[in-house]
Amino acid sequence: MKTTIILSAVTLLALASSAADPATLLAERGKLLLSEDFGKPVEVAKIEKGKPATAGWRLRPGKWEFVDGAMKGSEVAADKHGAVARFPLEFQNVVIQYEIRLEGSRTSTLSINDAKEHVCRVLINSKGFTAQKDDHDHAGPDKPEVFGRAAMPIKEGEWKTVVLEIVGDEMVAHIDGKAITGSNELIGTKKANFGFTVAGESASVRNLRVWDATLNPNWSSTKTSISKQ
């Protein structure tokens, strides 16, 4: 079952929990699991063929740099694949918040994965953002399921704050007062890592925060009232 909700900026402002962080809708932030300011380069172990980095970020394929407090990813044509950065982190329910700046990329995504396959993602480009459940078997019969697309201009060089919330089999993604939510049993599975992808020239991320999450006790009524609107 899927549900798409587009919230007005006024609605989100009314639900805001603090001036520092955007309001959460589905979840309540709990223990801070990860905080990355990218103020200094992340030490990356030498990667041998078929072996992941021993600790920290796994930065391949693509070109990844640490510039002015941000992690910048660029697609490399010879890779024939978008740039990928992944961080190993086991979690179930979560709030992931970060800032993104498009710098010529066609699309950048926040990708959530289990131990074997993709689970769900948020896709961002100059025209707005999309939230979806991913294809989990590639050979069929599972298919990706798009929960919704939110149209909004995202200018090149402009920082935007992205929030993804997952509790149980539901997810909510929101940027600047527009939100998309959907549900699928796959989303409720145990996750093993998350990461970012960049297709095209480049995109940068900064101020990454990951919290453990619990269900917002007001979610049911909030979802109902927003649906009525």
Residue 189's pLDDT is 96
Q: Is the pLDDT of residue 138 over 70?
A: yes
Name the residue with higher pLDDT: 47 or 29.
29
Is 153 inside any structural domain? yes
202 in any annotated domain: yes
Higher pLDDT, 1 or 216: 216
pLDDT above 80 (res 44): no
Confidence of residue 192 (pLDDT cuts 50, 70, 90): very high
What's the pTM value of the predicted model, to 2 decimals?
A: 0.86
Alpha-carbon gap, residue 61 to 83, rounded angstroms: 5
Task: Give the domain extent around 135.
Answer: 9-228
Percent of the chain with pLDDT over 90: 69
Does residue 59 form part of some domain?
yes
Is pLDDT at 206 greater than 70 in this prediction? yes
The total number of structural domains in the chain stands at 1
Residue 212, in any domain of the structure: yes
Any domain includes 136: yes
pLDDT for the residue numbered 221: 82
Residue 71 pLDDT grade (very low, low, confident, very high; cuts 50, 70, 90): very high
pLDDT in tens, 141-191: 889 999 999 999 999 999 999 999 999 999 999 999 899 989 999 999 999
Residue 3 within any structural domain of the chain: no
pLDDT in tens, 89-118: 999 999 999 999 999 999 999 999 999 999
23: its two tokens: 């309001």
Confidence of residue 53 (pLDDT cuts 50, 70, 90): very low
- Structural domain includes residue 2: no
Q: Which residue has the higher pLDDT, 80 or 3?
A: 80
Residue 4 falls within a domain, yes or no?
no
| Structure confidence at residue 68 as a pLDDT band (50, 70, 90) | confident
Q: What is the CATH number of the domain that holds 174?
A: 2.60.120.560
